[in-house]
Amino acid sequence: MEPNTNEKQHDGQTAISPTSEHSEKGPNTLEAVEAIGSGWSQDGLQLHPKPTCDPLDPLNWSSAKKHGILAIVMWKYFLFTYATTTTVPAFPQTQERFNISYSQVNWTVAVPALGLAIGPLFWSSLADIFGRRIIFITGTVIALVATIGTAVATSYDGYMAASLFFEHERGQKLGLWVLSIDSGLLVGPLVGGFISLVSEAWISWLTALFFATLLIAEVLFMTETLYPRRLMLMRMPAAVAHPAITDVEKVVGALSNASNAEIKRTKELTFLNVKPVPRISHPKPWDSITRFIWTLKYPTVWIPVFFYCFAWYWWILSIITYIPAAYVRYSPQIQGLLLLGLLLGTLFSELLCSGRLSDRIILKLMKRNDNVRVAEMRLWLAYPAALLSASNTIVSSYIVDCYPLQSMSVITFYSVLLNLSAFANPFFITPWVTSSGYTKTFAVQGVITFFVSVPVFALVHWFGPRLRDRAGQPYWVNPEYDNRFN
C-alpha cells in the first residue's frame, strides 16, 4: 500500500509535501500534519502536537496531572522489568527447589520477556479502540494475578507518555520512561536479594503488593488520554501560547466552544470505559501486527532498533542473570549489591547523554538550521552513550522523531524487539559461558557492543535523511490524527 506523503530532503532538512494521489485506504497524512502544526511555544517553537482550546485536551491539563500520569506509566514499566529480574538472586534456591538446571532457571527471565514482546502486538490496537486507561488497568490485573500465582507455585510449570507532552519535551519524557525500564532490571535483583532473607516466595509476594499499589493508582488517578485531536481541531480554534506564557492551560479564549462539541472524551468517559472511544478512527484488532511488519520497510526505524537490541541491550541481561553463577560464594544480598554500579551508571548516563540534554542540543541545532528539526540531530549523543551504555533513550526518541505521526507503531516495534532480545539471551548465554568462560564471553560482548553498534549509528546518522526519503511516509497515522471518524 502506498503512503499518502513523500518526505523531501533539502540539505538535510525535512519537509512534508503531498503526493499527486490520495489513498482511499489510508488517512491523509498531510492534512494530519497541517492540523497539528501551527501552535507556538514560549521559546518560539512550533508546537507538535497542536493543542486545542479544549480543557479536556490532555495537552492542556496541569503539569501536576500530566506528570502524575507519567509517574504511573513509569511505575508500571519499572515493575514489569523489576518482576522479571527480582528472582535472580534466588536462582540457586529455585534450582534446588525444582531440581532444574541453571539454563532452565534462566527461562524464568526469558518467558516473561517473551510475554512483554508479544503483548504490544495484541494490546496496541485494543488501546487505540477502547482507550489507554482500560488497557493499562487490564494489564496490571493480569500481572497481579500472575505474580500471586508465582508466589504460591509448587511446580516449575507453575506490558501513554507520548500523548501528554509536546515534541520538544520528548527526549526528557521518553528518557524518564526508558529510565524506569532500565532501573527496574537492576533494582529487581537488589531488592530480591534482601527479601530472600524472609523467603523465596516473599520475593513474589512483594512484587504482587507493588502491582496492587499500581492498580489502585491507575483506577484512582489515571485519566484516559486518547483524544480526538483531529476532529476537535476542526471544531474549535487552536490554543496559541504567548511567549511570556509557560503553560498552555493558562491561555484564555474560545474555551466555551469546547462545551459545544457534544463528544464524550478523556475525563467525560465512564469510570471503567469498555466501549470504543467515540469519534476516533479505530484500527482493526490485527492492525498492530500488520503495521509491525510494514515498519520493516522503514530503515531509520528497524536498523537502529535491531542493532541496539541485539548488539547492545542484551549484554546487560547477561550480566544480571549470571551474577549468581559467577559469584556463587557470595550471599544473594551481596550479589544484588554488585548491581549498584550499573544502576548508578544508568542514572548518571541518563543525566549526561539523554533526556533534557538531548532536547537542549536539538533546540540549539534547530536555531542554526532555520528552526528546521531533523531527526538525526538526536543521534549526536549516541557516541558518548556507547561508552556508558546509555543509548536506550536516544534510540526510542530518534525513531519517534523520524515518524511522529506513527509514534504508537514505532514504539510498539521498539518494545517487541527489545523484549525479544531479552527472551533470546538465556538460550545462548549459558552454552557460551560454558564453552568460553566468563572473561572471554563478556569481553567479546563488550567488543560487539562498541565496534558494531557505533559504526551502525554513524551510518544511520549520515544516511538517515536519504533512507527516509526513499522509504516515504507510512500509510497510517495515530488514531487521534486520522481524518476518518467513527
In angstroms, rounded to a whole number, what is the distance separating the alpha carbons of residues 37 and 199? Answer: 56
pLDDT at 38 over 60: no
| pLDDT per position as a tens digit, 212-231 | 999 999 999 988 888 887 77
> Tell me, what's the pLDDT at 237?
56
What is the band of 19 on the pLDDT scale with cuts at 50, 70, 90? very low
Q: Which of 31-40, 200-209, 378-387 has the highest mean pLDDT?
A: 200-209
pLDDT at 3 over 60: no
pLDDT at 377 over 80: yes
In angstroms, rounded to a whole number, what is the distance separating the alpha carbons of residues 304 and 387? Answer: 17
pLDDT at 355 over 90: no
| pLDDT per position as a tens digit, 276-290 | 888 888 888 899 999
> Tell me, what's the pLDDT at 298?
96
SS (H, E, C) the chain: CCCCEEEEEECCEEEEEECCCCCCCCCCHHHHHHHCCCCECCCCCECCCCCECCCCCHHHCCHHHHHHHHHHHHHHHHHHHHHHHCCHHHHHHHHHHHCCCHHHHHHHHHHHHHHHHHHHHHHHHHHHHHCHHHHHHHHHHHHHHHHHHHHCCCCCCCCCHHHCCCHHHHHHHHHHHHHHHHHHHHHHHHHHHHHCCCCHHHHHHHHHHHHHHHHHHHHHHCCCCCCCHHHHHHHCCECCCCCCCCCHHHCCCCHHHHHHCCCCCHHHCCCCCCCCCCCCCCCCCCHHHHHHHHHHHCHHHHHHHHHHHHHHHHHHHHHHHHHHHHCCCCCHHHHHHCCHHHHHHHHHHHHHHCHHHHHHHHHHHHHHCCCCCCHHHHHHHHHHHHHHCCCHHHHHHHHHHHCHHHHHHHHHHHHHHHHHHHHHHHHHHHHHHHHHHHHHHHHHHHHHHHHHHHHHHHHHHHHHHHHHHHHCCCCCCCHHHCCCCC
> Tell me, what's the pLDDT at 485?
59
Of 240, 244, 280, 261, give the one whose Cα is nearest residue 60.
240
Among 60-69, 452-461, 474-483, which stretch is predicted with the lowest mean pLDDT? 474-483
Q: Give percent of the chain with pLDDT exceeding 70.
A: 75
Among 113-117, 213-217, 346-350, 380-384, which stretch is predicted with the lowest mean pLDDT? 346-350
Domain ranges of the chain: 60-224+287-471
| pLDDT per position as a tens digit, 303-339 | 999 998 888 887 777 777 777 777 878 888 888 888 8
pLDDT at 438 over 60: yes
pLDDT at 100 over 80: no
Q: Which residue has the higher pLDDT, 100 or 125?
A: 125
Q: Give percent of the chain with pLDDT exceeding 90.
A: 12
Among 66-75, 168-177, 389-398, 416-425, which stretch is predicted with the lowest mean pLDDT? 168-177
In angstroms, rounded to a whole number, what is the distance separating the alpha carbons of residues 399 and 376? Answer: 10
The mean pLDDT of 358-372, rounded to a whole number, is 83
In angstroms, rounded to a whole number, what is the distance separating the alpha carbons of residues 452 and 86? Answer: 30
> Tell me, what's the pLDDT at 448?
83
What is the band of 29 on the pLDDT scale with cuts at 50, 70, 90? very low
The mean pLDDT of 42-49, rounded to a whole number, is 56
> Tell me, what's the pLDDT at 436?
86
> Tell me, what's the pLDDT at 293?
95
How high does pLDDT run on average in the chain?
Answer: 75
Residues 6+ apart with CB under 8 A from 11: none
The mean pLDDT of 6-32, rounded to a whole number, is 38
What is the band of 74 on the pLDDT scale with cuts at 50, 70, 90? confident
The CATH topology of domain 60-224+287-471 is Growth Hormone; Chain: A; (1.20.1250)
Of 73, 61, 77, 411, give the one whose Cα is nearest residue 222.
73
In angstroms, rounded to a whole number, what is the distance separating the alpha carbons of residues 42 and 290? Answer: 39
